[in-house]
């Protein structure tokens, strides 16, 4: 683990490994991902609520970074803790039409076609349904995550605001080489009326044997790879990540948290 982060600069051919979906732990109770909704009485949708929004739009920026030497992609939706891999997700009164990403670190650089931006109108529904879709290439031994569609439309994710909670993720079919992995995908429904802040937690996991990173913003369906994204009355200062599965472990310097004001 201590040397995992520095493998960002490693040049070489990836070891052949079994995809994560084959190393299945006992699935966690899928209801855990939606625990924010437990035993809460019905409230009006935000569009009908008297509360004042901090901004009209949640602008989700998804930035894909890639190293050709490592044949490895990974995604950020907020800046990494060390500031090298940024993504300008924010709340504002104007919709963003293109993502703002960093330059990477020289080894890993941004890939515009696999990045994207999506503006969600916070006044149009009670729930933020975050859909996390994990794609995997067996030939490249490479995972990457989307929470919104890539710019080229090949790798989708159904994140949206609505008045109903979603119970399963909506993902695309990939491009034939990279395909969706249901066990590592997931959905989490957050009630926007229950707190002042949307705390986005980004957890980066890495396998030293596979030279492979991937990120999560919400827990994977099987519960092995968690992230503590939630709505609350207080701002989170540190990300809450899981321990991984023994092969893939969290990388604190590439993880992060961003508290976005809702009102």
Extents of the domains making up the chain? 52-261
Q: Distance between CA atoms of 87 and 210, rounded to whole angstroms?
A: 25
Give me the pLDDT at residue 52, please.
Answer: 85
Joined together, the tokens standing for residue 140 give: 């490249």
Give me the pLDDT at residue 76, please.
Answer: 98
Report whether 21 contacts 38 (CB < 8 A). Answer: no
pTM score of the predicted model:
0.82
Q: Distance between CA atoms of 242 and 245, rounded to whole angstroms?
A: 9
Q: Distance between CA atoms of 238 and 257, rounded to whole angstroms?
A: 6
Report whether 123 contacts 56 (CB < 8 A). Answer: yes
Give me the pLDDT at residue 51, please.
Answer: 58
Nearest to 11 by CA among 75, 91, 68: 68
Q: Distance between CA atoms of 208 and 10, rounded to whole angstroms?
A: 10
Read off the DSSP letter of residue 244: T
- Judged by DSSP in three states, 249 sits in strand
Q: Distance between CA atoms of 29 and 137, rounded to whole angstroms?
A: 27
Q: Distance between CA atoms of 152 and 150, rounded to whole angstroms?
A: 5
* CA within 13 Å, CB half, 198: 30
Rg over alpha carbons for the chain, rounded to the nearest Å, is 17
Report the number of secondary-structure helices (H) and strands (E) in the chain: 0, 15
Q: Distance between CA atoms of 140 and 154, rounded to whole angstroms?
A: 17
Read off the DSSP letter of residue 23: S
Give me the pLDDT at residue 11, please.
Answer: 34
Give me the pLDDT at residue 29, please.
Answer: 43
Report whether 195 contacts 249 (CB < 8 A). Answer: no
pLDDT along the chain (263 residues), means of 10: 39 40 44 44 48 91 97 98 98 98 98 98 98 97 98 98 98 98 98 98 97 98 98 98 98 98 96
- Residue 232 burial (CB count, 10 A): 15
Q: Distance between CA atoms of 79 and 171, rounded to whole angstroms?
A: 24
Q: Distance between CA atoms of 55 and 62, rounded to whole angstroms?
A: 20
């Amino acid at each position: 683990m201590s040397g995992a982060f520095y493998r960002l600069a490693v040049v070489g051919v990836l070891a052949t490994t079994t995809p994560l979906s084959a190393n299945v732990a006992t699935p966690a109770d899928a209801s855990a991902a939606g625990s924010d909704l437990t035993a809460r009485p019905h409230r009006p949708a935000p569009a009908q609520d008297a509360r004042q929004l901090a901004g009209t739009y949640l602008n989700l920026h998804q930035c894909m970074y890639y190293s050709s030497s490592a044949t490895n992609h990974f995604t950020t939706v907020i800046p990494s803790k060390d500031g090298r891999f940024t993504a300008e997700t924010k709340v504002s009164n104007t919709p963003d039409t293109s993502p703002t990403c960093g330059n990477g670190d020289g080894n890993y650089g941004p890939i515009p076609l696999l990045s994207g931006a999506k503006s969600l109108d916070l006044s149009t529904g009670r729930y933020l349904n975050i859909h996390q879709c994990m794609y995997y290439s067996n030939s490249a031994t490479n995972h990457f995550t989307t929470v919104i569609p890539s710019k080229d439309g090949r790798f989708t994710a159904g994140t949206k605001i609505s008045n109903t909670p979603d119970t399963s993720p909506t993902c695309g079919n990939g491009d034939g080489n990279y395909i969706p992995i249901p066990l590592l995908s997931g959905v989490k429904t957050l009630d926007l009326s229950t707190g002042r802040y949307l705390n986005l937690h980004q957890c980066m996991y890495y396998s030293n044997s596979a030279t492979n990173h991937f990120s999560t913003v919400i827990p994977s369906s099987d519960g092995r790879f968690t992230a503590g994204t939630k709505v609350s009355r207080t701002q989170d200062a540190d990300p809450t990540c899981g321990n991984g599965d023994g092969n893939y472990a969290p990388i604190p310097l590439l993880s992060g948290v961003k508290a976005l004001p809702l009102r």
